[in-house]
Chains A and B, each alone.
Chain A
Amino acid sequence: MIDTSPSLTLVAVIVVLVTVGVYLMLERSLSRVLLGIISFSNGINLLFLVAGGVAGGAPIIGQTPDGEMSDPLPQAMVLTAIVITLGMTAFLLAMAYRSWQLNEHDEVQDDLEDRRVARRAAADLAAFEDADVEVTTTLDEDAAGAHDETQGGDRP
């Protein structure tokens, strides 16, 4: 029977990486979210190493005795996951840059239409008005008046 109890160091590192990752993903700035995503994904990648059991020799017949090989399958899966995360991270980085180009910040913005619906509901107004009854403001005019935290005045 192979000993499959996980290494305490690995588990501790996973706990730290995932905690940091979750904390940073809750931030508004996209670059911090990105760092959080990298940390989180690395935590999960390490979890695959735990899932693979104890470390052993190279899994090549003739080089390592049968019982002492490490399990190659989780390592193959981790490699795939790392490559996927790399590509996605690059894309997210490009999006953060584009957001900075357009808005001069990379913060996740509010959905204006959602805000508008919520504002009208709070003011106990109808979600829509009939054109037959009265002239209404357009969606864009309303949206421009909606409050957006990311466009506050206290920005540097």
Chain B
Amino acid sequence: MTLHDLSWVVPLPVVLPLFAAGLALALWRHARAQRIISLVALSLVLVASVTLLIAADAGPIVLDVGGWAAPVGIDLVADRLSTLMLTVSSVVILCVLIYSLAQGIADGDEDTPIAIFHPTYLVLSAGVANAFLSGDLFNLYVGFEILLAASYVLLTLGGTGERIRAGTIYVIVSFLSSFVFLLAIALVYAATGTVNLAQLAERLPEVDPGVQLALQLLLLLAFGIKAAIFPLSAWLPDSYPTAPAPVTAVFAGLLTKVGVYAIIRTQTLLFPDGRADTILMWAALATMVVGILGAVAQNDIKRLVSFTLVSHIGYMIFGIALSTEQGLSAAIFYVAHHITVQTALFLVVGLMERRGGSTSLDQLGGLARIAPVLAILFFIPAMNLAGIPPLSGFLGKVGLLQAGVAMGTPLAYALVAGAIVTSLLTLYAVVKAWNKAFWQTAPVEPPPMTLPRGMTGSAGALVVVGIGLTVLAGPLYSYTERAAETLRDRDQYIFAVLPDGVRGTGQSPEVSQEVGESVDDDLVEEGGEG
């Protein structure tokens, strides 16, 4: 418990951006002050995340919010998985912020209502961090709602006709997934009398298996819509491409991954017997293949990249559905890789739109000659996405394929084959985009312009982070292996949250101690009834 002192760092990734958002909103007249606030807040979040990443390697760090002991009070848990997600997302959020700042400076802030952008963006960051750190199912829901509310505003920024059209579908689908999630929480509470994840892990195995399965499927349905798993993915390629480039980039990188994270967390902690694995495997296969076929059919590069996003969610679900340590480790590695590479790709596509004046592959052309730096910036993440050795996409896919082969069932082999086909089709789709945007003769020669250095710089930084994941793949893989090990060993999580098996470490005064006991008694009795 030497690292106990660090528990004060745990809420910072949530509290700092929320506080900064309020400050930025209050200073809405001062664009420069807003920029500085966002930049400082998100940089501090990155520092806090890295601190937690290193500290959590020794064991989960738990904070009982407000000193209220865990099962009744809300707790934040920073374990290996959540801190890794947090660190990667902080890097991405910061890079995208710099990109949008450079864009705002270059465009003179006229097109985008930047006064709204900064507070909302900070709230989005807080919501993502809250979802990653939450040790409580209802707090997870609140985290989702925070980031969704922010994403509604960001997606419809400026309120143009096209964004309202795309936003409508996005908002309604998100509402639906939130309702399913809320429904699941109500039923979980009815069955077990708690929403604390650690306590749920203890109590759910005692619940009737049929009820357990229903709860598991309801949660999967809610998170599946958010993560855009195949039958539930139709909303994504339609709504993402209309938003401003930095917004699409951060959505593509993070929002679906929060859904994937929630699936990993609930599947490993609450439902470790893996009864939904077969259906998850089929969903993963369908997501990979259908998603990439959609990408092949597209002629608009933003939509093409959106479809590859859907497709590659399938890889992560594949790793989760294997429910072996190897599979989980590869899935976590793949999530980290995919967040950086997909965000980088969307940022670069934003630059291509800016330079070439269009996102239609018929209209783009000759960019390799007029913007060679852009060509390099597109080529590396595109090849990384397709999984060309030695980049991190290749390493992630090899890890998944090895885990699939180790499983050895016919369905696992089908998924291995599906994953290889998807990888090849991804290569086909991105090479098609490359040929048409960079190599074909330009139908209309775009007017000469220089891209703002801040935009290419931040997109380039993310590409470099992607390469960095390749170079540091050894240490990262051993970290994800340890993370997967922690996930499979549920007792470690439960013990960290509820050291004596009943209560957390919050310092409740004597009176609330009594209240806590009587509430606990109620809960136990209800649990028995359920």
A interface residues, Cβ below 8 angstroms from B? 1-2, 4, 25, 30, 33, 37, 40-41, 44, 47-48, 50-53, 59, 61, 66, 69, 71, 73-74, 77, 80-81, 84, 87-88, 91-92, 95, 98-99, 102-103, 108-109, 111, 113-114, 117, 121, 127-132, 136, 138-139
Contact = CB atoms under 8 A, between A and B. Distances in A.
B55 interface: no
B176 A25 contact: yes
Given A127-B297, A138-B362, A139-B299, A114 B238 contact: yes
Given A44-B183, A99-B168, 7 more contacts: A4-B526, A47-B186, A69-B518, A71-B519, A71-B522, A88-B152, A95-B168
B138 interface: yes
Contacts of A71: 519, 522, 526
Contacts of B190: 50-51
Interface residues of B, number: 57
A61 B189 contact: no
A44 B168 contact: no
B363 interface: yes
A87 B156 CA distance: 16
B443 A131 contact: yes
Contacts, number: 136
Contact of A139 (B169, B179, B362): B362
B159 A98 contact: yes
25 contacts: A1-B525, A1-B528, A2-B526, A33-B172, A44-B182, A47-B183, A50-B186, A52-B189, A66-B521, A71-B526, A74-B189, A77-B185, A81-B182, A87-B149, A88-B152, A88-B175, A91-B149, A98-B164, A109-B168, A111-B165, A111-B166, A121-B297, A127-B298, A128-B362, A139-B363
B22 to A, nearest CB: 16
A84 B138 CA distance: 13
Given A66-B518, A121-B297, A131-B443, A138 B360 contact: yes
Nearest to A50: B190
B268 to A, nearest CB: 24
Interface in B151-185: 152-153, 156, 159, 161, 164-169, 171-172, 175-176, 179, 182-183, 185
Interface in B299-325: 299-300, 303
Contacts of B525: 1-2
Given A4-B529, A48-B189, A131 B362 contact: yes
A139 B299 CA distance: 9
A61 B179 contact: no
Nearest to B189: A51
A138 B528 CA distance: 65
Contacts of B492: none
B457 interface: no
Contacts of B175: 37, 88, 92
A91 B362 contact: no
A2 B158 CA distance: 54
B138 A131 contact: no
Output the residue of B166, B175, B441 with the most chain A CB within 10 A.
B175
A101 B33 CA distance: 34
Interface in B220-244: 238
Contacts of A2: 522, 525-526, 529
A129 to B, nearest CB: 7
Nearest to B511: A61
B273 interface: no
B145 interface: yes
A132 B440 contact: yes
A95 B171 contact: yes
Nearest to B363: A138
Contacts of A77: 138, 185, 189, 195
A92 B148 CA distance: 13
A6 to B, nearest CB: 8
B347 interface: no
A34 B298 CA distance: 32
Contacts of A59: 519
Output the residue of A30, A41, A98, A131 with the most chain B CB within 10 A.
A131
A128 B526 contact: no
A117 B306 CA distance: 15
B164 A113 contact: no
A53 B519 CA distance: 13
**Nearest 7 interchain pairs by C-beta:** A51-B190, A128-B299, A47-B186, A139-B360, A51-B189, A4-B529, A51-B186
B529 A1 contact: yes
B19 to A, nearest CB: 20
B514 interface: yes
B300 A139 contact: yes
A127 B528 contact: no
A4 B530 contact: yes
Nearest to B530: A4
Contact of A48 (B186, B362, B436, B443): B186
B161 A103 contact: yes
B164 A95 contact: yes
B476 interface: no
B194 to A, nearest CB: 9
A85 to B, nearest CB: 9
A61 B514 contact: yes
A40 B179 contact: yes
A25 B436 CA distance: 41
